[in-house]
A and B are shown apart, each in its own frame.
Chain A
Amino acid sequence: MSMHSEHPGERDALREKIIGLGETSLHKSYYPELQSRLAELERFRALLDQTHDAIFLIRAETGRLADVNASAKAYLGYSKKELLATPFADLISPSKQTQFSEFIRDNSNLPSESRQTFTAPLVSRSGTEIPMEITVRSVTFGAEQYVVAVARDITDRLHTERELRIKESALESSTNGILIADLTGAVMYANRSFAVMFGYEREAAIAGRNLEVFFADPTVGEKVTAHLLDNPAIVQETVGLRSNGSPFHIQISGSVVQNDAGQPLCIMLIVMDITERILTEQMKREAYTQLGKNIEQFAILGDHIRNPLQVIVGYAEMIDDPFAEKILEQSRRIDDLVTQLDRGWVDSANVRQFLRRHGDGAKPPGETFFRFSNWKEEDR
């Protein structure tokens, strides 16, 4: 406090303050501070009342409630006066009361900074049981010990957890392999079927690996990821690679998992082992090829039969012999049989065509059409 630069007016003002006549030259009074603290407490009380959690202040010695916030009243449907006349344990579901009392007893000597959590339903005035997670903490005000219990309604959480568990079970029990990876291709989750399909003992051994290790062509994973960033889905057949290095045929169906704002979060691949189908198709293709070859051989065989048969018929017509007619008759029977075989080939070709049209998947690499000499357009 310097007086060198002070004007006489300021000096007079200083003197007024020294002799107790300044604006704030007041004797010690805690009342303004008390009012300030009370206002602070009221603001704090309003905050506590706004919270969704039910807050209970419990007298440690008697177990009776010393104070509650507005949410406690709202949840339980009691007035504050009613609650303050009730032991807190009476608000706990009867099925958990004994357990809760033991919990409080076991934790009553814990240091004040220690919080313990107990899950139990609270019973409202109407008898409804509200599942609550109750966090308790021991505090001391003055010489009296209290327990602060903050009860959080976990109805929605339990419901959500149940739904999540169902979804998790569904993923886990799917016969298809399911794999979730982040946008860089790092695996976040793989279900048991995926692990089994790719020869891993545990799902956990897969997490963190990159997609590329699951394909015979390491670039497939990157291509799938890139495709999904621009497209909503992909279905592709490719060759997978087991952990022991053996390849197998797979079909992958991929999609992007997005958040509510439509931003991509991760990708999900559903993987099916199609080795059996591919092998079956291959066997079919081979069977058809063999069938074609057989038919072709059969057609050639017909021609090979008819040519000497024509010679036999020619010679038989030229000779005058009572057996000639027998020879011709038998030759015609042979020709009829060959003609029936030709018709059978046409029927076989038609059946093959039908199968092709209706997608049996056994389309041969190259089509071969066989023509017999007496093959007629109407036979087609």
Chain B
Amino acid sequence: MIQRSQLDLRKFVAPEFICGHGALHLAGRYARNFGMKQVLLVTDPGVRAAGWAGAVGESLTEAGVSFTVFDAISANPRSRQVMAGTEAYLAGECNGIVAVGGGSPMDCAKGIGIASSSMRDILTFEGVDRVPVPAPPLICIPTTAGSSADVSQFAIITDEGRKRKIAIVSKTLVPDISLLDPEPLTTMPRELTVDTGMDTLSHAIEAYVSNASSPMTDVHALEAIRLIASALPAAMAEPDDLNLRFSTLLASLHAGLAFSNASLGAVHAMAHSLGGAYDLAHGRCNALLLEHVMAANYDAASGRYDRIGEILGQGRETPAEGAAAFRRSLGITETLAEVGVREDAIPALAAAAYDDPCMVTNPRSLACEEVERIYEYAL
């Protein structure tokens, strides 16, 4: 465990963001202010069908900004999809990107931005601080409350060749502005609400116990845990309540500000590995791993985990049990084995997770064998 002091150097980077009802309709104004003439509007088919991409398009048109829609994006966006978007960006002679959607379109939009500005394959950016030329201006409009890609320095892309997710980490990936509007969240299906909510919780918990946490990130992480613990179950009960949806959005924002600066830990490292190999929903992977990683890490940050346990409540003995009870209350009751993970795949999953940059800020330095055991517990 890395010893921490409040005098340790820390940096806090946050994008400009506007939150509140109707924020989405400011897309055109900000696109114009950033000097965008031709925008690549990055979204996915679901968001487009729900009408949110169209609403943003109208805003762009009203501001006199032309746009090209790119929506060939799946969950866990593939490198091939990023490069297809890059081609669309260059072919359309675009000079800015507006991303509307969840983590997949936003991560893909970040990838398109850096691939087009550097004219390189997206996979060559894997790692930390490997983006030499800044991407064009990027406006993010999240339609889920969980990925926090709208405020983070991360882009997670699936390397189809190696069947694993790569992490691209760079401060240059932080969007230029994010427009946080609760209204698009109302069209999220229940399962997506749960998974993205659990992603928020995982972000907040991992940032809070991260060995790179700071007083600034702690404030956001704890607020995120508090908000999600109360607002997520309520929002599931009343999905059309804009105030509840806004609370989950705020939770995601706080969590994003926390983890984008304090980074994450083993939960995300292992979830990236799982998602790459099995194409599982990212939030669901986090949900199934969270309590097991918390248990494994507990001794390294017991005070912080206890604080988390207090917030999660649930009347459980340990924070990990509290987290487990929380996810079960949301209807997530399966195990890794039940979603298709085989025991013989664990060594490879563990090796990939051990390689993930999120592992560097895990509160406890885990050996690869320990990562394997965590997967085994989660089976």
Please determine whether A27 and B361 come into contact, CB atoms closer than 8 angstroms.
no
Determine if A21 is an interface residue (Cβ-Cβ < 8 Å). Answer: yes
Question: Which of B190-198, B284-292, B306-314, B352-360 touches A?
Answer: B352-360
| Known contacts A20-B11, A20-B171, A14 near B354 by CB under 8 Å | no
The winner among B2, B13, B129, B133 for most chain A CB atoms within 10 A is B129
Q: Are A14 and B135 in contact (CB under 8 A)?
A: no
**In-complex Cβ contact of A18 among B126, B174, B351, B357 (8 A):** B357
> For A33, what are the chain B residues with a Cβ–Cβ distance below 8 Å?
133-134
Chain B 249-278, CB-CB to A under 8 Å as 1, else 0, gives 000000000000111000000000000000
**Chain B nearest CB, measured from A307 CB (Å):** 122
Q: Which residue of B lies closest to A17 (CB)?
A: B128
Q: Decide yes or no: A18 and B354 within 8 Å by CB, A28-B171, A28-B176 being known contacts.
A: no
Residues of B within 8 A of A47 (CB): none
Task: Tell yes or no: B211 within 8 A of A by CB.
Answer: yes
- A318 is an interface residue with CB less than 8 A from chain B: no
Residues of chain A within 8 A of B368, CB atoms compared: 4
Q: Is there an interface contact between B174 and A25, defined as CB atoms closer than 8 Å?
A: no
Residues of chain B within 8 A of A3, CB atoms compared: 354-355, 357, 359-360
Query: Does B68 lie at the interface of the complex (its beta carbon under 8 Å from any beta carbon of A)?
Result: no
In the complex, the chain A residue whose C-beta lies closest to that of B126 is: A1
Name the CB-closest residue of A to B2. Answer: A15
**A36 nearest CB neighbor, chain B only:** B133
**A14 and B357 contacting across the interface, CB-CB below 8 Å:** yes
| A26 interface neighbour in B9, B169, B171, Cβ under 8 Å | B171
Closest to B213 in A: A19
Taking CB atoms and an 8 Å cut-off, the chain B residues in 332-379 that contact chain A are 351, 354-355, 357, 359-361, 368
Q: Among the listed A27, A30, A142, which residue makes an inter-chain contact with B171, where contact means beta carbons less than 8 Å apart?
A: A27
Bound state CA distance, A277 and B18, in angstroms?
Answer: 107
List of B residues within 8 angstroms of A333 by Cβ: none
With A1-B357, A15-B361 already in contact, the answer to whether A26 and B128 are too (CB < 8 A) is no
Q: In the complex, what residue of chain B is closest to A2 when comparing beta carbons?
A: B355
Distance of A30 Cα from B127 Cα, bound (Å): 21
B263 touches A18 (CB 8 A): yes
Q: Which of B9, B37, B171, B262 is most buried by chain A, counting CB atoms within 10 A of its CB?
A: B171
Contact with A along B148-180 (1 / 0, CB 8 A): 000001000000000000010111111010000
Q: Which residues of A contact B351 (CB under 8 A)?
A: 4
B134 touches A19 (CB 8 A): no
Bound form: Cα–Cα A2–B351 in Å: 10
Return the contact of B9 from the options A17, A21, A24 (Cβ within 8 A). Answer: A21
B205 at the interface (CB under 8 A from A): no
Q: Is B320 an interface residue (CB 8 A)?
A: no
**Which chain A residues lie closer than 8 Å to B2 at the CB level?**
15
Instruction: Indicate the size class of the contact surface on chain A.
Output: 20 to 34
| Closest Cβ neighbor of B173 among chain A residues | A28
Q: For chain B residues 192-251, which have a beta carbon within 8 Å of chain A?
A: 211-212
Q: How close is A21's CB to chain B, nearest CB, in angstroms?
A: 6
Q: Which of B263, B355, B359 contacts A19 (CB 8 A)?
A: B263
B355 contacts A1, C-beta separation under 8 Å: yes
Contacts of B328 in A (CB 8 A): none
The smallest C-beta distance from A25 to any residue of chain B, in angstroms, reads: 5
CA distance A74 to B133 in the complex (A): 39
At the interface, yes or no: A11 with Cβ under 8 Å from chain B? yes
A74 CA / B351 CA spacing, docked (Å): 69
Q: Would you give the shortest CB distance from A213 to chain B, in whole angstroms?
A: 60
Interface flag for A344 (CB, 8 Å):
no
Contact between A1 and B134, CB atoms less than 8 A apart: no
Compute how far the CA of A354 lies from the CA of B375 in the bound complex, rounded to whole angstroms: 130
Kindly list chain B residues whose C-beta atoms are within 8 Å of the C-beta of A142.
37
Verify A18–B134 contact, CB threshold 8 A.
no
In the complex, what distance in Å separates the CA atom of A194 from the CA atom of B37? 68
CB within 8 Å of B: which A19-51 residues? 19-30, 33
Chain A residue nearest to B138 (CB atoms) is A28
Distance in Å: Cβ of B5 to nearest Cβ of chain A: 14
Known: A4-B354, A19-B212. A11 touches B134 (CB 8 A): no
Chain B residues positioned under 8 Å from A29 (CB to CB) = 134
Find out whether the CB atom of A28 lies under 8 angstroms from the CB atom of B134: yes
Query: Chain A 287-321, CB within 8 Å of chain B: the 1/0 string?
Result: 00000000000000000000000000000000000
Listed in ascending order, the chain A residues whose CB lies under 8 Å from chain B are 1-4, 11, 14-15, 17-30, 33, 142
Cβ-closest 5 pairs across A and B = A20-B11, A1-B127, A19-B212, A17-B128, A28-B172
Q: What would be 24 A-B contacts, judged by CB atoms less than 8 Å apart?
A: A1-B126, A3-B354, A3-B357, A14-B128, A14-B357, A15-B212, A15-B360, A15-B361, A18-B128, A18-B263, A18-B360, A18-B361, A19-B11, A19-B361, A20-B11, A20-B13, A20-B153, A23-B129, A25-B11, A27-B13, A28-B134, A28-B172, A28-B176, A30-B134
Residues of chain B touching chain A, judged by Cβ–Cβ distance below 8 Å, are 2, 9-11, 13, 37, 126-129, 133-135, 153, 167, 169-174, 176, 211-212, 261-263, 351, 354-355, 357, 359-361, 368
